[in-house]
């Protein structure tokens, strides 16, 4: 119960106003209240990385004795309490009921989109380049801010495969000293729709068919293409999905984009409009469609494993955060591009990306559920200096992310979960609700109040308050209408296709051909071809030919012929950190050559994985993969040292005496590894004996293939890895 202050007087019913206590609020803030439990930092080091004084084992449940949820030590957790060893279980068994009942409720609803994801902790360090345009303190030169990043696919369920052709989420939380800032972006800079009211439509169309719930995690089906061919503003995003961007090699090799235009304000209140970009230090790389399909079977956790393994190996992925800065004349256009239309991007040749800081991910989550699953991002989590614009897609997101957590995380207090807590004191007046873990002090969670000394007080600009940028709202007519500039659905789609290299265009043609061939309804294929005719006549003709349909004529005037080379991801030489090379050896492989190859890769920061016929030791080397467990998709290059030999269990055929062919000279599983590596245009090498390559049909003088001494071939492989793929070989039969 509240303690009354000395000068408080109970108000007599009907007392004249002159006798009532003064109603004015206290005018000055008093010192801070003692911290409430929910204001303390997260209980575990995993959410903050900062010691909290709470022993980790106290919350990690790694203490000495097993207890019930209420702390009573247990003697037995393996047998239920029964009426005799062979008798019925007793209702009295509290531990049985507690254990099974808790298990029954272990699952929470998965995210309605972006259900499948993987995450990591890290740090963002600002270089100060944003000082003239943004007042946010975490962008000051040298400021170091803890971050948590979750990458995801969009369409698939939580248990779906990582390498589905899809957009990837790239959501970053900055735990700044002004509160949480969430940059909830994607690996594609444009979106399917221009207005958030269409989001349920595009997602319903992309998710599995409602009758049989197939197909899982993919867009190659009728409802998706039905929608995007009818709602042609979706073509902007769809072509990125059909390009190599839909199949990242790794989360570490993806760009990230804020998508919308945001408004930055500096300390003087001057504003500018920006697009956010994350640029991976390792470059942007993808896998081929065949690899994606193989990975979906052989290793559905391909991206999740890659991220965790790289961090564990010390190959910490890094991204530079950059901004394209446009003047804010409050009409939202820049040289003919509508910056409020999220289906449009600003070519980097037109407005260069300026780097404002670098993010390093260096710590894997301790517990997937507590951190990766329970993290709840929200584009409305902004800090002073960063504000939203009137992009109608962003405006709807400002509502959706808070709303969805009420169901997914079971109530309004999800922001108290360790991974969601800001690393600053929280002084809200939100109270009660499911799973309230704070024990709030005070008696006056309302404003104005006098009983808690008027606390908490509102802050002014000088105290670091978030103040919306004053913006003149140009149109004041209440209406459901898009501006006419939103009607251009094709010009940038054409620009994107034209800017691709020939091999990237081949991939796009193949992707449309595959996806549309998976559609049952011919009118949908025909309608999508009509959309492609407005993108590029050549693209349309090639897809039409593959489908066995006629290519229609364009219905919109042709776009201009400019290109944006920055859109292509082919070319350049890139760091090798965390790349993996398969090293196939046999009993007769010279141990010296094997150790030379392994040492060279180790020194280059590349992880060699030794593959042999059986586990244990072969050629004095520890084996990491056998012919049965190795899959080409986990290697960025393949080296065969000496002759790997025939299958170890290959027996002479019973017909051998009758003159049948002898056992194959190279194990067929090695041949398959080589053939796939060849088709996927990865570097291949043989130390000494090239027999295995020849048996597999690998042309030894093709780009990206080297045969020679251990030193020669490792140089060749490292050069091939730096270029990612020898695309000259594509398509390789």
What residues line the site for ligand HDE (CB under 6 A)?
A: 111-114, 117, 150, 152, 169, 171, 184-186, 191, 196, 199, 259, 375-377, 393, 396-397, 400-401, 404
CB of 275 to ligand HDE, least distance (A): 11
CB of 205 to ligand HDE, least distance (A): 14
Q: Which is nearer to ligand HDE, 166 or 636 (CB)?
A: 166
CB of 139 to ligand HDE, least distance (A): 20
CB of 253 to ligand HDE, least distance (A): 17
E-assigned strands of 596-649? 607-612, 617-618, 621-622, 625-626, 637-641
Round to whole Å and give the CA distance between 126 and 358. Answer: 6
Round to whole Å and give the CA distance between 695 and 671. Answer: 7
Round to whole Å and give the CA distance between 93 and 78. Answer: 12
Round to whole Å and give the CA distance between 23 and 34. Answer: 26
Q: Which is nearer to ligand HDE, 259 or 417 (CB)?
A: 259
Contact 574, 285 (CB under 8 A): yes
Q: Which is nearer to ligand HDE, 150 or 421 (CB)?
A: 150
The DSSP letter of residue 355 is E
Contact 545, 565 (CB under 8 A): no
With 0-12 / 13-18 / 19 or more C-beta atoms within 10 angstroms meaning exposed / middle / buried, residue 473 is exposed
CB of 206 to ligand HDE, least distance (A): 12
Contact 594, 612 (CB under 8 A): no
CB of 646 to ligand HDE, least distance (A): 48
Closest-approach residue to ligand HDE (CB) = 169
The phi and psi torsions of 262 (rounded to 5 degrees) equal -110, 160
Q: Which is nearer to ligand HDE, 193 or 524 (CB)?
A: 193
Tokens in use for 273?
Answer: 């409009």
681: left (phi over 0), alpha (psi -120 to 50) or beta: left
Which member of 121, 127, 180, 186 is catalytic?
186
Q: Which is nearer to ligand HDE, 149 or 693 (CB)?
A: 149
CB of 178 to ligand HDE, least distance (A): 22
Q: Which is nearer to ligand HDE, 397 or 724 (CB)?
A: 397
Beta bridge partners of 640: 584, 686
Round to whole Å and give the CA distance between 695 and 464. Answer: 69
Q: Which is nearer to ligand HDE, 167 or 580 (CB)?
A: 167
Tokens in use for 198?
Answer: 């269409």
Has 680 been annotated as catalytic?
A: no
Q: Which is nearer to ligand HDE, 220 or 396 (CB)?
A: 396
Round to whole Å and give the CA distance between 112 and 209. Answer: 15
CB of 10 to ligand HDE, least distance (A): 48
Q: Which is nearer to ligand HDE, 373 or 667 (CB)?
A: 373
Has 415 been annotated as catalytic?
A: no
Burial 309-329 (b: 16+ CB within 10 A, else e): ebbeeebbbbbbbbbbbbebe
Round to whole Å and give the CA distance between 347 and 337. Answer: 10
CB of 164 to ligand HDE, least distance (A): 15
Which member of 114, 285, 423, 724 is catalytic?
114
Count the Cβ atoms, other than its own, within 10 Å of residue 439: 8
Q: What is the CA radius of gyration of the chain?
A: 30
Cis ω before 448 (30° cut-off from 0): yes
Say what angle helices 668-679 and 289-298 make with each other, to 10 degrees.
Answer: 140
Residue whose C-alpha is closest to residue 187's, from 569, 717, 495: 569
> 3-state secondary structure string, 591-635?
HHHHHHHHHHHHHCCCEEEEEECCCCEECCEECCEECCCCCHHHC
Residues designated catalytic: 114, 186
């Amino acid at each position: 119960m509240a303690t009354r202050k000395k000068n408080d007087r109970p108000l007599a019913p009907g007392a004249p106003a002159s006798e009532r206590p003064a109603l004015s609020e206290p005018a000055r803030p008093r010192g801070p209240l003692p911290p409430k439990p929910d204001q303390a930092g997260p209980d575990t080091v995993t959410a903050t990385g900062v010691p909290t004084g709470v022993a980790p084992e106290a919350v990690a449940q790694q203490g000495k004795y097993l207890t019930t949820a209420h702390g009573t030590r247990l003697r037995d957790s393996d047998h239920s309490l029964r009426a005799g060893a062979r008798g019925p279980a007793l209702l009295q068994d509290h531990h049985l009921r507690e254990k099974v009942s808790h298990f029954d409720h272990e699952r929470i609803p998965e995210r309605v989109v972006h259900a499948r994801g993987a995450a990591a902790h890290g740090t963002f360090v600002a270089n100060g380049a944003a000082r003239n345009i943004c007042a946010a303190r975490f962008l000051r030169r040298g400021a170091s801010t803890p971050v948590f990043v979750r990458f995801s696919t969009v369409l698939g369920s939580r248990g779906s495969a990582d390498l589905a052709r899809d957009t990837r989420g790239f959501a970053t939380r900055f735990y700044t000293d002004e509160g949480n800032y969430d940059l909830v972006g994607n690996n594609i800079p444009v979106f399917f729709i221009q207005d958030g009211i269409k989001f349920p439509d595009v997602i319903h169309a992309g998710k599995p068919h409602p009758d049989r719930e197939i197909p899982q995690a993919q867009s190659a089906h009728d409802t998706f293409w039905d929608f995007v061919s009818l709602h042609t503003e979706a073509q902007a995003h769809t072509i990125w999905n059909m390009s190599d961007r839909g199949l990242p090699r790794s989360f570490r090799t993806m760009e990230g984009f804020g998508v919308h235009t945001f408004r930055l304000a500096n300390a003087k209140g001057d504003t500018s409009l920006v697009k956010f970009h994350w640029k991976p230090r390792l470059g942007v790389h993808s896998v081929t469609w065949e690899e994606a399909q193989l990975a979906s079977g052989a290793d559905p956790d391909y991206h999740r494993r890659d991220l965790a393994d790289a961090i564990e190996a010390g190959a910490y992925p890094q991204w530079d955060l950059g901004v394209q800065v446009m003047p804010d004349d409050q009409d939202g256009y820049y040289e003919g591009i509508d910056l409020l239309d999220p289906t449009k991007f600003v070519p980097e040749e037109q407005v260069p990306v300026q780097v404002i800081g670098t993010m390093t991910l260096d710590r894997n989550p301790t517990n997937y559920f507590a951190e990766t699953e329970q993290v709840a991002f929200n584009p409305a989590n902004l800090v002073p200096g960063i504000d939203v614009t009137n992009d109608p897609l962003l405006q709807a997101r400002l509502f959706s992310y808070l709303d969805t957590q009420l169901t997914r995380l079971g109530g309004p207090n999800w922001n108290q979960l360790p991974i969601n807590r800001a690393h600053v004191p929280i002084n809200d007046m939100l109270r009660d609700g499911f799973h309230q873990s704070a024990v709030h002090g005070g008696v006056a969670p309302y404003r104005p109040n006098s009983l808690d000394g008027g606390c908490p007080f509102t802050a002014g600009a000088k105290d670091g308050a978030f103040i919306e940028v004053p913006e003149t709202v140009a149109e004041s007519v209440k209406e459901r209408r898009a501006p006419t500039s939103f009607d251009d659905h094709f010009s940038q789609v054409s620009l994107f296709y034209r800017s691709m290299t020939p091999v990237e265009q081949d991939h796009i043609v193949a992707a449309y051909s595959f996806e549309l061939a998976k559609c049952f309804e011919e009118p949908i294929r025909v309608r999508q071809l009509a959309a492609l005719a407005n993108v590029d006549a050549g693209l349309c003709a090639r897809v039409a030919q593959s489908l066995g349909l006629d290519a229609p004529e364009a219905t919109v005037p042709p776009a201009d012929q400019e290109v944006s080379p920055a859109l292509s991801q082919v070319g350049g030489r890139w760091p090798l950190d965390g790349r993996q090379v398969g090293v196939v050896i046999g009993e007769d492989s010279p141990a010296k050559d094997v150790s030379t190859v392994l040492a060279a890769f180790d020194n280059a920061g590349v992880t060699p994985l030794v593959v042999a016929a059986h586990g244990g030791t072969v050629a004095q080397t520890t084996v990491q993969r056998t012919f049965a467990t190795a899959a080409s998709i986990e290697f960025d290059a393949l080296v065969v040292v000496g002759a790997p030999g025939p299958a170890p269990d290959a027996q002479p055929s019973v017909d051998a005496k009758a003159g049948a062919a002898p056992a194959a000279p190279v194990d067929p599983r090695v041949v398959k590894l080589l053939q796939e590596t060849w088709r996927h245009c990865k570097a291949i090498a043989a130390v000494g004996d090239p027999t295995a390559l020849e048996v597999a049909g690998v042309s030894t003088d093709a780009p990206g293939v080297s045969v020679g001494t251990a030193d020669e071939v490792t140089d060749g492989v490292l050069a091939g890895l730096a270029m990612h793929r020898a695309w000259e070989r594509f398509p390789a039969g």
